[in-house]
Structure 1
Amino acid sequence: MTARTESAVRLVILLAIGTMAGAAAFTHVHDLSVAHGQPHWIGWANAVAVELMAIYLGLELRARRRAGRPVGLVASLLVAFALLSLAAQVAGAEPSVWGWIVAAVPSLAFLALVKVVLSNAPVTPPAVKPQQPTLHRTEEPASATAPEPVRLTEPAAPAVPVPPAVVSAPAAVLPPRGVVQPNRPHVVGIIR
């Protein structure tokens, strides 16, 4: 079987299960609403709200995860609407364990189908790391004028006498800014 044929078969199965499970879940929510005093059109509105809200929340959950946004509220709402759908299925069932299980099948199938479809994210290639700059030692062209040498001057006598135990060391001599010494590689970003 080719990949295209397999995709077509999967789509037909998906549509068949989705249609039947969705119709059963919608009908159970509608019938429960009507049995408890709601008009028929409100029964259908309740069915649409409960079942489509679960699908929408699944989509929203997926979008938030992709964007790195918090999903706590959306996940809680999804569980709540799934439980409402399950409760509607079980409420009209024969009061036995098998009655409840069989009545819950359409809602569970519908929710499982939504979960499978929504978790089928396209495969994305791994992110390409930006290339790190390589340090190359380049020869700077000789400038037309040589930098002036730094002249050391004798430090002025301190206003406060220094105790004899403390010996002052000469200050480090750095080249002027922008001058690259030929025996040292040029490194960008060093703060002096």
Structure 2
Amino acid sequence: MTRDRIESAVRLLILLAIGTMAGAAAFTHVHDLSVAHGQPHWIGWANAVAVELMAIYLGLEIRARRRNGRPVGFVGVLLIAFALLSLAAQVAEAEPSVWGWIVAAVPSLAFLALVKVVLSSAPATAPAPEPNQPQADRYGEPERAEPVPPADVMPPASVSVLPPRGVVQPDRRQVVGIIR
């Protein structure tokens, strides 16, 4: 097994361990808070499943939308809302002290950190070339210009006002007045 594969496997195991434990703590806090505020036991679990799995689903949805070039704004807002709901449940179940709140917030913060790391590891698209660079410079290989006709052969009048193809790049928006 190569070093990269071993590191990937270890990273996956750590991700699963942290995700499982953070999820278990978050499920329990949401359940206990729901039950403490009058919901039947099974509805407490339903609330926990809805809040925690919705956050996981939304993280996966953001990744899929980015991969397909679709907007992620609304889904991102929903992810933040469900993560904050989970965080609020955890803090509400904590001992009423600064350390109690910090310790209770760890599962949600760990989950948010994992989501951020996983979502930011998506392959990046290549940066767009600068618009003021000639196309030949962008790709390292110059384009071949069409051969210039001999001086004694006169092109038709309608063509004579345009430079030969290949001399002016069609995507150079800074050059005004050249239409092909």
Same fold (TM > 0.5):
yes
Residue 91 of structure 2: aligned partner: 90
Q: Matched residues in 1 for 2:4 and 2:74: separation?
A: 38
Between Structure 1 and Structure 2, how many residues are aligned?
155
Q: Which has the larger radius of gyration?
A: 1
User: 2: CA distance between counterparts of 1:8 and 1:31?
Assistant: 34
Q: CA deviation at 1:40?
A: 2.0
Work out the CA distance in 1 between the residues paired with 2:37 and 2:163. Answer: 83
Shift of 1:80: 1.1
User: Is 1:17 the equivalent of 2:27?
Assistant: no
**CA offset digits 1:70-99 (Å, max 9, x no partner):** 433222212211110001101111100000
1:49-128 matches, cutoff 5 A: 49-122=50-123
Moved more, 89-98 or 55-64: 55-64
**1:89-148 deviation per Cα after TM superposition (whole angstroms, max 9, x unaligned):** 0111110000000011111112211221122113566689788863212659xxxxxxxx
SS in 2 for 1:94: coil
Check the 8 A contact 1:137/1:185 in 2, yes or no: no
Unaligned runs of 5+ in 1: 141-173
Give the whole-Å Cα distance in 2 for the aligned partners of 1:186 and 1:10: 57
- Compare the two structures and name the one with the higher helix fraction: 2
Q: Does 1:135 align with 2:106?
A: no
- Scaled by the length of structure 1, the TM-score of the pair is 0.65
User: How far, CA to CA, are the matches of 2:55 and 2:4 in structure 1?
Assistant: 30
After TM superposition, the score normalised by the length of structure 2 is: 0.69
1: CA distance, partners of 2:69 / 2:125: 16
The question of whether the paired residues in 1 share the 8 Å contact of 2:65 and 2:71 is answered with yes
Q: In structure 2, how many angstroms separate the alpha carbons of the residues matched to 1:77 and 1:90?
A: 20
Shift of 1:47: 0.9
Cross-structure match for 2:46: 45
Q: Percent same amino acid among aligned pairs?
A: 76
- CA shift, 1:23, in A, is 0.6
